[in-house]
Amino acid sequence: MAKKSKQSTPAVSQVNPEKQKSQGTESTGFAFGKQNYKLLFAGLFLILVGFVLMIGGGSDDPNVFSDDIFNFRRLTLAPILILAGYVIEIFAIMKKPGN
């Protein structure tokens, strides 16, 4: 006859909420804080503005070349805004909530 071994359940560690607040690791249930979301939307806005500034500049007649595609707005300003938007997005993701 086989002996039945007593199986123990693993202990679940319970975190004391008071201790958790004192350590500065208060959990809100969200991955990002309010400021993180503001930065995310600001970065998204800059990216969209950059792409909108890049639109246009073509000629209505395919036989006529237009120099409008080589202006400052499309070649310099729009890519700078897009890159700035991506930098803000990365910063918003990496920033710890509450800091």
**Domain presence at residue 75:** yes
Kindly state whether residue 11 falls inside one of the protein's structural domains: no
pTM of the complete model: 0.66
Which of residues 53 and 15 earns the better pLDDT score?
Answer: 53
Residue 8, in any domain of the structure: no
Is position 38 within any domain?
A: yes
Determine, yes or no, domain membership for 36: yes
pLDDT band per the 50, 70, 90 thresholds, residue 11: low
Its domain, for residue 51, covers 28-94
Q: Is residue 85 part of a domain?
A: yes
Domain count for the chain: 1
**Per-residue confidence band for 29, with pLDDT thresholds at 50, 70 and 90:** confident
Is residue 58, in this structure, part of any structural domain at all?
Answer: yes
**What does the H/E/C string look like for the chain?**
CCCCCCCCCCCCCCCCHHHHHHHCCCCCCCCCCHHHHHHHHHHHHHHHHHHHHHCCCCCCCCCCCCHHHHCHHHHHHHHHHHHHHHHHHHHHHHCCCCC
Can you read off the two tokens belonging to residue 46?
A: 């800059």
